[in-house]
Chains A and B, each alone.
Chain A
Amino acid sequence: DIVMTQTPLSSPVTLGQPASISCRSSQSLVHSDGNTYLSWLQQRPGQPPRLLIYKISNRFSGVPDRFSGSGAGTDFTLKISRVEAEDVGVYYCTQATQFPWTFGQGTKVEIK
């Protein structure tokens, strides 16, 4: 199975400041069809996960443009340009390139 490793596991941030989460996969996530099936999910407290970013850098419908994704191969990053109070929660990277689909362990974003 592909192992997804996120850093940091906890990220205290000041409102209005940027935040960055790294995700590294144990194997390349480039599929033979040319796509890289790396997504980012946000899970607010007490809520189900919500899709933020798919295929590395595509924002899902309704996701604010302060969220951006980047990376290639085995190294990926989620950035929040200016953290707002509603961004508090746990963020997961997930891969759907190689069966079985796997998730990172999660990064908790909280306000300082």
Chain B
Amino acid sequence: QLQLQESGPGLVKPSETLSLTCTVSGGSISSSSYYWGWIRQPPGKGLEWIGSIYYSGSTYYNPSLKSRVTISVDTSKNQFSLKLSSVTAADTAVYYCARQVGGSYRPRELDYWGQGTLVTVSS
């Protein structure tokens, strides 16, 4: 059974960089059929897609966050990572990693999700 697990600091200071890692188990991150994505959910609010990556390193970012986001992949560790720079209180959210089914050379359905990790931006 595929499992995804987010890890990283739960508290980040304003203006600093948020860094999270997602470890994939029960399947290979190098599968040609899937992409790997990050989604966030502010407390009590809805979902926002942050960006996705293919095992080759191709990335897709939400334009609303693109200037601050970097997603990378480490196939040797079966992990992918998120960095979000210059954070503010508005970036406080539960951050989820997820697998996305590929379709027409782009990430599509989010079929498996991690449990999520709450990141609070506060001094």
Q: Could you list which residues of chain A lie within 8 angstroms of chain B, going by C-beta atoms?
A: 31-33, 35, 37, 39, 41, 48-51, 54-55, 60, 92, 94, 96, 99-106
Contact = CB atoms under 8 A, between A and B. Distances in A.
Interface stretch (B14-22, B70-78, B107-115): B107-115
Contacts of A94: 47, 110
Contacts, number: 61
Classify the secondary structure of A's interface with B: loop
Interface string B59-76: 010111000000000000
Interface residues of B, number: 24
B74 to A, nearest CB: 23
Contact of B109 (A39, A99, A104): A39
Contact of B49 (A32, A60, A101): A101
13 contacts: A35-B103, A37-B108, A39-B109, A48-B96, A48-B116, A49-B96, A51-B111, A54-B101, A96-B108, A99-B106, A103-B46, A103-B48, A104-B46
B110 A49 contact: yes
A104 B48 CA distance: 10
Interface string B34-61: 0000000000001111000000000010
B104 interface: yes
Interface of B: 46-49, 60, 62-64, 96, 100-101, 103-104, 106-116
B111 A54 contact: yes
Contact of B46 (A32, A60, A106): A106
A69 to B, nearest CB: 12
Most buried by B among A50, A54, A96: A96
